[in-house]
C-alpha cells in the first residue's frame, strides 16, 4: 500500500485533519475577522503573516476581498445589498452556495474600493497572495500527498470544504436565522450555541453583531470563545493586543436622568433593548395572541410569524414588504401600539447622529415621563430601571 512520508493509524489522519482545519478556523476568526475586518486587536507581524500564509495555502482567500465583503455585510446587513443574507436570499441558498456568493461579491470592484481599505499591500500581497491565490491550495495538495500518501487527497478535500461550509454556510446562513439572542440589535444575527469551539467563537454571532469591534465574542458567564483564548495566549507572548471588548453594564441607585445616564444608556444600548423586550414579554405574548384570534390578517400562519418577528426584531430584521399592514394590525391594540412605539423612540436615542446631547437628554427625560404616566406597569418599572444605568 502506498504511504507518504508520515505513516499514521486511521485515527491519526482524523486528528491531523481536525488540527489543520482548526488552525484555518483560528486564522479566519483572529486574523481576517477580528484583526483585519474590524481592527478589534493588533497582531504582531509574526502571527499576522503566518495566518495570511496559512490561509493562502488552505483557502486561497485574499485578505482585501474577505475584509471588504464582511464590512459590507455589516454596513448593509439584511438588505438587498447584503452579500449573503438568508433573510433576503433564503437560508438554503446561503448555506449551500455561500462560497459562490463570496466569489461573486469579490468580483465587485466597488465593494473592494469602498470597504477594502487598510488591508495588506506589501510585496508578497501584490506579487504572490493576490495574483496567485490558487497557487497556495495546489501547493497544499502536493504537500498533503507527499506527507500522507493517497489519503492526503481526502485531507486536502476536507480542508477545501471546511471554511465554505462552516463560515460561508453555517455562520453567514444559520447564524442569521436560528439560535438565541443576547442583544436586540437591528439585524437577525443569532448565537448558534454558547460554546464557540468548532468555528473558533464565530458561533456567538449575535454578540458580534451587537459589538462588532470587540475582540472577545463571548458575553455571558456561560459562553466560551476559543478564539479569545488564543488571543489571550498571544497577548501573554507579546504577539497581540486587544483594543476593545464587550462593555458590561453597571447599575447605581439613582433616580435622576442626566448626561451621565444618557451616556450609559447609549453605551449599553443593546443591553437596554434586550431588557426592554424581556420586561414587556408578557404584554407582547398576551396582545399578539388576542390579535391572532380577532384579526383576519393574522389568520395565516406565515403572516402571523412575520408579524411576531416584525414586532420583536424591528423593521430592519427582515425585508420590508407588508409594514403598512402590520401597522394597521397594531391599531387594534393600544397597549401593543404603545410599547412598540416607545421601543422605536428609545432606539432613536442612539440612531439620531445629528442631534445634540441636550436634545437627546430632553428626549430621554420626556420618554421616561411618558412611560411612567402610561398606566402600563412594565413600562413604568422599565423607566425606573433606565435611571440606574452607569458607565
Q: Residues 148, 125: one domain?
A: yes
Contacts of 206 (CB under 8 A, 6+ apart): 179, 180, 181, 182, 183, 185, 189, 190, 191
Q: Which helix (H) or strand (E) holds 42?
A: strand 41-43
Q: d(Cα 186, Cα 173) in Å, to the nearest integer?
A: 17
Q: d(Cα 212, Cα 361) in Å, to the nearest integer?
A: 26
Number of structural domains found in the chain: 2
Mean pLDDT of 261-287: 86
Q: Which of 19-28, 281-290, 376-385 has the highest mean pLDDT?
A: 19-28
Q: Identify whether 5 is part of a domain.
A: no
Q: Residues 235, 279: one domain?
A: no
Q: Residues 122, 186: one domain?
A: yes
Q: Residues 291, 350: one domain?
A: yes
Q: Residues 159, 201: one domain?
A: yes
DSSP 270-335: HHHHHHHHHHTHHHHHHHHHHHHHH-GGG-SHHHHHHHHHHHHH-GGGS--SSHHHHHHHHTT-HH
Q: Residues 42, 78: one domain?
A: yes
Q: Residues 31, 180: one domain?
A: yes
**Residue 275 cell numbers, joined:** 431588557
179 three-state secondary structure: coil
Query: Does the pLDDT of residue 312 top 90, yes or no?
Result: no
Q: Residues 214, 270: one domain?
A: no
Q: Identify whether 234 is part of a domain.
A: yes
Whether 50 and 124 have beta carbons less than 8 Å apart is answered as no
Reading phi first (left if > 0) and then psi (alpha if -120 to 50, else beta), residue 264 is in alpha
Q: Identify whether 2 is part of a domain.
A: no
The whole-number pLDDT of residue 64 equals 97
The whole-number pLDDT of residue 270 equals 86
4 three-state secondary structure: coil
Q: Identify whether 149 is part of a domain.
A: yes
Query: Does the pLDDT of residue 297 top 70, yes or no?
Result: no
Query: Does the pLDDT of residue 202 top 50, yes or no?
Result: yes
Q: Residues 233, 373: one domain?
A: no
The whole-number pLDDT of residue 148 equals 95
Query: Does the pLDDT of residue 353 top 80, yes or no?
Result: no
241 three-state secondary structure: strand
pLDDT tens digits, 12-52 = 999 999 999 999 999 999 999 999 999 999 999 999 999 99
Q: Which of 215, 242, 269 is the last residue of a domain?
A: 242
DSSP 247-270: PPPEE-------HHHHHHHHHTHH
**Residue 307 cell numbers, joined:** 408579524
pLDDT tens digits, 69-103 = 999 999 999 999 999 999 899 999 999 998 999 99
Q: Residues 274, 380: one domain?
A: yes
Q: Which of 237, 236, 263 is nearest to 252 (CA)?
A: 263
Beta partners for residue 42, in sequence order: 241
Contacts of 143 (CB under 8 A, 6+ apart): 152
pTM, whole model, 2 decimals?
0.83
Domain range for 153 is 10-242
Reading phi first (left if > 0) and then psi (alpha if -120 to 50, else beta), residue 314 is in left
Q: Identify whether 3 is part of a domain.
A: no
Query: Does the pLDDT of residue 229 top 50, yes or no?
Result: yes
Q: Residues 351, 254: one domain?
A: yes
Q: Which of 242, 264, 294 is the last residue of a domain?
A: 242
Q: d(Cα 158, Cα 174) in Å, to the nearest integer?
A: 21
Q: Identify whether 4 is part of a domain.
A: no
**Residue 125 cell numbers, joined:** 500581497
Q: Identify whether 301 is part of a domain.
A: yes
Cα 344 to the chain's mean position, in Å? 22
Q: d(Cα 345, Cα 51) in Å, to the nearest integer?
A: 44
**Residue 205 cell numbers, joined:** 454571532
Between 28-32, 281-285, 297-301, the lowest mean confidence (pLDDT) is in 297-301
Q: Which of 242, 267, 282 is the last residue of a domain?
A: 242
Q: d(Cα 230, Cα 237) in Å, to the nearest integer?
A: 11
DSSP 349-369: HHH-TTS-HHHHHHHHHHHHH
Q: Residues 299, 231: one domain?
A: no
Amino acid at each position: 500500500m502506498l504511504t507518504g512520508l508520515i505513516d499514521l493509524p486511521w485515527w491519526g489522519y482524523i486528528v491531523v485533519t481536525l488540527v489543520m482545519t482548526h488552525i484555518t478556523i483560528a486564522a479566519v476568526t483572529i486574523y481576517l475577522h477580528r484583526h483585519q475586518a474590524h481592527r478589534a486587536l493588533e497582531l504582531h507581524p509574526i502571527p499576522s503573516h503566518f495566518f495570511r500564509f496559512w490561509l493562502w495555502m488552505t483557502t486561497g482567500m485574499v485578505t482585501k476581498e474577505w475584509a471588504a465583503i464582511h464590512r459590507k455585510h455589516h454596513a448593509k446587513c439584511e438588505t438587498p445589498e447584503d452579500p449573503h443574507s438568508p433573510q433576503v436570499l433564503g437560508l438554503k441558498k446561503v448555506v449551500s452556495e455561500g462560497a459562490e456568493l463570496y466569489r461573486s461579491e469579490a468580483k465587485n470592484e466597488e465593494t473592494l474600493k469602498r470597504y477594502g481599505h487598510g488591508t495588506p499591500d506589501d510585496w508578497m500581497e501584490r506579487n504572490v497572495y493576490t495574483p496567485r491565490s490558487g497557487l497556495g491550495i495546489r501547493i497544499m495538495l502536493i504537500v498533503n500527498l507527499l506527507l500522507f500518501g493517497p489519503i492526503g487527497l481526502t485531507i486536502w478535500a476536507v480542508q477545501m470544504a471546511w471554511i465554505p461550509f462552516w463560515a460561508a454556510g453555517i455562520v453567514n446562513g444559520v447564524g442569521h436565522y436560528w439560535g438565541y439572542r443576547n442583544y436586540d440589535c437591528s439585524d437577525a444575527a443569532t448565537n448558534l450555541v454558547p460554546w464557540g469551539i468548532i468555528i473558533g467563537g464565530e458561533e456567538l454571532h449575535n454578540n458580534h453583531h451587537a459589538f462588532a469591534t470587540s475582540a472577545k465574542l463571548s458575553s455571558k458567564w456561560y459562553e466560551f470563545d476559543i478564539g479569545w483564548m488564543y488571543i489571550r495566549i498571544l497577548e501573554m507572548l507579546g504577539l497581540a493586543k486587544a483594543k476593545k471588548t464587550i462593555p458590561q453594564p453597571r447599575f447605581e441607585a439613582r433616580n435622576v436622568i442626566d448626561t451621565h445616564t444618557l451616556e450609559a444608556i447609549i453605551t449599553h444600548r443593546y443591553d437596554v433593548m434586550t431588557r426592554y423586550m424581556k420586561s414587556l414579554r408578557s404584554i407582547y405574548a398576551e396582545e399578539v395572541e388576542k390579535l391572532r384570534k380577532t384579526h383576519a390578517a393574522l389568520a395565516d400562519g406565515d403572516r402571523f410569524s412575520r408579524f411576531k418577528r416584525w414586532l420583536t426584531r424591528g423593521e430592519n430584521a427582515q425585508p420590508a414588504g407588508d409594514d403598512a399592514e402590520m401597522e394597521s394590525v397594531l391599531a387594534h391594540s393600544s397597549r401593543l401600539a404603545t410599547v412598540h412605539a416607545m421601543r422605536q423612540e428609545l432606539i432613536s436615542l442612539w440612531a439620531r447622529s445629528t442631534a445634540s446631547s441636550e436634545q437627546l437628554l430632553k428626549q430621554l427625560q420626556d420618554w421616561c415621563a411618558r412611560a411612567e404616566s402610561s398606566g402600563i406597569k412594565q413600562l413604568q418599572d422599565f423607566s425606573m430601571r433606565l435611571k440606574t444605568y452607569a458607565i
